[in-house]
Amino acid sequence: MNSNPQDGTSVKKYGLALHTASRELGLAISNFAGDSRCQTWNLDRDLATHLHQYLIEFIGPQTWADFAFIAVAKGPGGFTGTRMGMVTARTLAQQLDIPVFAVSTLAAVAWAEPPQPPLGKGGLLREDMALQMPAQRGQLFGAVYSVNKDSGLTELFPDTVMTAESWQEKLESWENSYQLIEVGSELGWSVSSVLELAYLEWKQGSRPDWSDALPFYGQHPVKGH
């Protein structure tokens, strides 16, 4: 018997986040009331072999019934790892009948490294966060966000794959001051940011269906496609 069919938060108090878009596996869990934990493993090519084992061991003592939502890093990042995390999150969310939030890996890094706004006339000026990350075939991923720790991120320039020259032109023409962050290849540590960003959307009433969670690859893994 479901005593509260409209909202399961009274029973399902936890959020779970997966980050598989880099060489690291990152997992995070929280009830957003003092019980939180986060762990990373550098699995690289062993991710496919160990993902489900680590996930099952990590969630204990909680059970699948304790989760209100799942969050997952959607990319950009490694093609195989991103796909694996997305498939896992979508499958779990479908089976558990809970929402799944797909969060940009670049947004998660931006959230984890808030800017230090410079002083200007009238007080503090906003400083945007420009993030760049290596992509295949000499290109890179670029995005620009602004951070507000109360309301979340604002996407000012969406995650885009481009040449280094195009990205440089974008930055040179950017009207606001910005902090440039070079995103590395080991990103499991930012899984807690994936969970926090998803929770902000959850608190605002968002309940995305598992089928709406889609990966962002930016590039096809095979040249010519």
Same domain flag for 157 and 50 = no
> Is 220 contained in some domain?
no
Same domain flag for 125 and 22 = no
DSSP code, position 117: P
> Is 219 contained in some domain?
no
> Is 162 contained in some domain?
yes
Residue 225 has pLDDT above 50, yes or no: no
The more confident residue out of 21 and 118 is: 21
CATH, residue 149: 3.30.420.200
Same domain flag for 29 and 90 = yes
Same domain flag for 150 and 41 = no
Residue 223 has pLDDT above 50, yes or no: no
> Is 217 contained in some domain?
no
Q: What is the pLDDT of residue 121?
A: 43
The dihedral formed by the CA atoms of 155, 200, 38 and 129, expressed in degrees to the nearest 10: 20
Same domain flag for 125 and 161 = yes
Query: What token pair was written down for 38?
Result: 């986060």
Residue 5 has pLDDT above 50, yes or no: no
Same domain flag for 30 and 122 = no
Average pLDDT over residues 203-219: 90
CATH, residue 13: 3.30.420.40
Same domain flag for 97 and 119 = no
The more confident residue out of 1 and 179 is: 179
pLDDT tens digits, one per residue of 157-174: 999 999 999 999 999 999
Query: What token pair was written down for 211?
Result: 């089928």
Please give the residue range of the domain that contains residue 129: 114-182
Furthest-apart CA atoms within the chain: distance in Å: 60
Sheet holding 67-73, edge to edge: 36-42, 24-30, 14-19, 67-73, 100-103
Bridge partners (DSSP) of residue 42 are 24
Bridge partners (DSSP) of residue 224 are none
Residue 108 has pLDDT above 80, yes or no: yes
CA-atom Rg of the chain in angstroms: 18
**Separation CA 82–CA 172 (nearest Å):** 31
Same domain flag for 20 and 102 = yes
> Is 88 contained in some domain?
yes
Same domain flag for 206 and 97 = yes
The more confident residue out of 72 and 223 is: 72
Same domain flag for 177 and 204 = no
pLDDT tens digits, one per residue of 109-163: 999 976 555 544 444 556 799 999 999 888 999 999 998 877 788 999 999 999 9
> For the chain, how many structural domains are there in total?
2
Domain boundary among 144, 163, 182: 182
Average pLDDT over residues 193-201: 95
> Is 102 contained in some domain?
yes
Same domain flag for 83 and 175 = no
